[in-house]
């Protein structure tokens, strides 16, 4: 739902932030970051913005946004000033051994490491599958198919891999979805032939099939995403085969605020490929990693959804802080990650078109 803010424009806020910068010049600097920011358990999937340039340090010190962390100066999160602002690492460094669509529950005992899925994917020109090596997960995973470079080679859900798999390690979920749709059509007196010819949209319309198809779940970092920082970007939603079924938008003067509804995402990674932010602001994670990550998002001590709510609340109630947050994030993205402007799409296309 659109959110509204009366009486003051964004231009006013930008002016206000400069005033705040001057007023904050006397603010105490070199505060210590909260110890919890020293990194999460296991794999640390985010990084801080360590400031090196004296001019940048002076500017953010004037705003009271510089913390000491491990002997270095990091930028503080304007929403949580005792914590370093954390950004999800680029997708190339956030890879997971995700299985192709339709992986059966007993995938590892069924997969005979024949590589047929790999060849089918390569012959189709998608190159989404590679075969796992020893370093991916030992003998258990060796030779099994992995889809882990979604930034460059997402899964197109062509389903060729499921058709060629000789053991059912990858199940023919689309065919099963079509059969189920045909049965439903017959029971309802509908068109059975048409039901059998439906395309991949069927995969998310049938809950049981969706669960069987799922490779992972996509997660957007609101501190990197253009749509959460004053931008108008719907590149991920537009690239998603299921568009507005999967995505949710909250509009206000600070942006489109794009979210993935986890219950509908199959984890194909087309959104990761489409994101214009360097290293992608949206990553696909295996389900267990996704749920672990959203529980204590970027070690903020709050869930992913509470963090999103905090951003929206600050945008409503504290526009000066919201403006600074947005400025900081845009500067980080532009300076450190870069933006592929030609990839920015502002209209929903394809399956998602017109349903925002
Ligand atoms: S469904 Fe995905 S992983 Fe399987 S062959 Fe097609 S592109 Fe490759
Ligand atoms: S949100 Fe991304 S990963 Fe999920 S179904 Fe859409 S394109 Fe695929
Ligand atoms: S494509 Fe990237 S920047 Fe654009 S809305 Fe999606 S996650 Fe955000």
Distance 127 CA to ligand 1 centre (A): 8
Average pLDDT of the residues in 260-264: 97
Ligand 1 atom with minimal separation from the 100 CA: 3
Number of other residues whose CB lies within 10 A of the CB of residue 115 = 14
The predicted pLDDT at position 255 comes to 87
To test the pocket of ligand 1, the residue of 119, 160, 172 to mutate (highest count of ligand atoms within 8 Å of its CB) is: 160
The predicted pLDDT at position 63 comes to 93
Distance 98 CA to ligand 2 centre (A): 14
pLDDT tens digits along 193-239: 988 888 899 999 899 999 999 999 999 999 999 999 999 999 999 99
Point out the ligand nearest to the CA of residue 329: 3
- Say what percent of the chain tops pLDDT 90: 79
Number of other residues whose CB lies within 10 A of the CB of residue 337 = 16
Average pLDDT of the residues in 272-297: 97
Is there an atom of ligand 3 within 6 Å of 348 CB? no
Confidence grade of residue 350 (pLDDT, cut at 50, 70, 90): low
Distance 270 CA to ligand 2 centre (A): 6
pLDDT tens digits along 8-22: 344 443 444 444 334
Distance 74 CA to ligand 2 centre (A): 33
Is there an atom of ligand 3 within 6 Å of 203 CB? no
Average pLDDT of the residues in 319-342: 96
pLDDT tens digits along 99-122: 999 999 999 999 999 999 999 999
The predicted pLDDT at position 42 comes to 63
The predicted pLDDT at position 26 comes to 36
Between 89 and 137, the higher pLDDT residue: 89
Average pLDDT of the residues in 288-293: 96
Q: Report the mean per-residue pLDDT for the chain.
A: 88
- pLDDT reading at 171 higher than 50: yes
Average pLDDT of the residues in 131-139: 94
Distance 90 CA to ligand 1 centre (A): 23
d(CA 239, CA 247): 11
């Amino acid at each position: 739902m659109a959110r509204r803010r009366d009486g003051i424009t964004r231009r006013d806020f930008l002016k206000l932030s400069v005033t705040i910068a001057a007023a904050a010049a006397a603010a105490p600097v070199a505060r210590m970051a909260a110890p919890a920011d020293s990194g999460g358990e296991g794999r640390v999937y985010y990084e801080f913005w360590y400031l090196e340039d004296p001019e940048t340090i002076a500017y953010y010190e004037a705003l009271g946004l510089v913390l000491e962390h491990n002997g270095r100066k990091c930028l503080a999160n304007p929403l949580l000033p005792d914590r370093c602002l954390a950004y999800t690492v680029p997708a190339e460094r956030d890879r997971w051994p995700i299985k192709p669509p339709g992986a059966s529950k007993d995938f590892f005992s069924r997969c005979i490491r024949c590589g047929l899925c790999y060849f089918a994917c390569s012959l189709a020109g998608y190159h989404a599958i590679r075969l796992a090596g020893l370093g991916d997960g030992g003998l258990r995973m060796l030779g099994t198919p992995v889809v882990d470079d979604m930034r460059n080679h997402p899964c197109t859900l062509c389903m060729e891999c499921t058709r060629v798999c000789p053991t059912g390690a990858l199940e023919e979920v689309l065919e099963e979805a079509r059969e189920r749709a045909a049965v439903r059509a017959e029971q309802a007196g509908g068109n059975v032939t048409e039901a059998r010819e439906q395309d991949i949209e069927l995969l998310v319309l049938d809950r049981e099939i969706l669960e069987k198809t799922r490779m992972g779940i996509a997660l957007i970092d609101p501190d990197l995403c253009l749509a959460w920082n004053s931008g108008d970007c719907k590149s991920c939603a537009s690239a998603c085969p299921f568009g507005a079924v999967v995505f949710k938008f909250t509009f206000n003067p600070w942006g489109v605020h794009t979210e993935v509804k986890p219950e509908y995402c199959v984890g194909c990674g087309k959104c990761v490929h489409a994101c214009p932010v360097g290293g992608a602001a949206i990553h696909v994670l295996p389900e267990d990693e996704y749920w672990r990550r959203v529980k204590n998002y970027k070690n903020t001590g709050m869930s992913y959804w509470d963090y999103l709510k905090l951003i929206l609340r600050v945008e409503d109630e504290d526009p000066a802080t919201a403006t600074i947050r947005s400025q900081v994030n845009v500067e980080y993205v532009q300076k450190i990650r870069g933006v592929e402007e030609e990839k920015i799409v502002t209209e929903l296309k394809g399956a998602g078109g017109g349903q925002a």
